[in-house]
Amino acid sequence: EDKVVQSPLSLVVHEGDTVTLNCSYEVTNFRSLLWYKQEKKAPTFLFMLTSSGIEKKSGRLSSILDKKELFSILNITATQTGDSAVYLCAVVLYNQGGKLIFGQGTELSVKP
């Protein structure tokens, strides 16, 4: 059975800290891995990763994929209270159209 596992499930840090969120997967026909941020309701897209070892970066957020060890990490540096959210990892498979397989999410809380 295809599955995506995220860790930790929840995390509390203080502003200015750096955090690393983990996503591991066991799937057949891997195509790409996506990261989303979910603050209240609608998940918003952060990154799509398809190739190993190539870091994607957007401001204080960055992410990388390791297709050999089957995991991805999402780094957030100099965290701010506005980074508080649930971070979702999802895997896209070949030959399965629009079906994303999500992990259970990591709930990040950034305290002032």
| Gap between the Cα atoms of 89 and 79, Å rounded | 19
Site for another protein in 14-33 (CB under 8 A): 31-32
Helix H or strand E segment including 72: strand 71-76
| Contact by Cβ (8 Å): 33, 49 | yes
Is residue 4 a contact residue for another protein (CB under 8 A)?
yes
For β-strands 106-111 and 85-93, DSSP reports them as antiparallel
Build a one-symbol-per-residue string for 49-88: x at contacts with another protein by CB under 8 A, - elsewhere: -x-------------------------------------x
Options 11-19, 60-68, 72-80, 94-102: segment touching another protein (CB under 8 A): 94-102
Residue count, binding to another protein (CB under 8 A): 27
Is residue 44 a contact residue for another protein (CB under 8 A)?
yes
| Gap between the Cα atoms of 75 and 68, Å rounded | 20
